[in-house]
Amino acid sequence: MAFRPLTARAPAVLLREAKPLKAILGHAQRLGHLQRLLESQLQPAAREHCHVASWREGSLLLIVTDGHWATRLRYQQKRLQRQLQMFDEFTNLTRILFKVQPPTVQQGAAGHTMDLSNDAAATIQATADGISDPNLRAALERLAAHARPKG
């Protein structure tokens, strides 16, 4: 007896028909909807720093990127709670919890390269030549070594 693999199905069909995937998709869509409602009530600067993590039993858990934004949002917590309770989805909202969770990858840190012109490197090297402190001089020389290669 030969093994016959199942015929391939489109991802959209799998998401609609497979029960576990359907449940995950439904939960993700619900969280996306709650996120849009939350963002409609947040200041524009705070929107990228605050995300809905869960909503159950009258408690809304928000993930905030850093302590600064968590503090700012805690000061606005009562106002935000009143505004969210006006939506049907949040009518039984009793409390908002904030959890600080920094992004796992620092933006801008990955793949960062220093572009330093040859003129800037020459100026830094000239400054280093006039410095008597050996540690500062070495640091400036390392910095000057980052110049773009001539080519």
pTM for this predicted structure: 0.60
Residues 91 and 104: beta-carbon distance below 8 Å: no
What one-letter code names the amino acid at 118? Answer: N
Q: What confidence score (pLDDT) does residue 11 get?
A: 76
**Angle CA(134)–CA(136)–CA(140) in degrees, nearest 5?**
115
Query: Phi/psi at 50 (nearest 5 deg)?
Result: -135, 125
Question: Burial level of 61, CB count in 10 A (0-12/13-18/19+)?
Answer: middle
Q: What is the pLDDT along the chain (151 residues), one digit of tens a residue?
A: 677 777 887 777 777 777 888 888 889 999 999 999 999 999 999 999 999 999 999 999 999 999 999 999 999 999 999 999 999 999 999 999 999 998 886 655 555 566 778 888 888 888 889 888 888 888 888 888 877 666 5
Dihedral angle sign, alpha carbons of residues 107, 111, 117, 120: positive
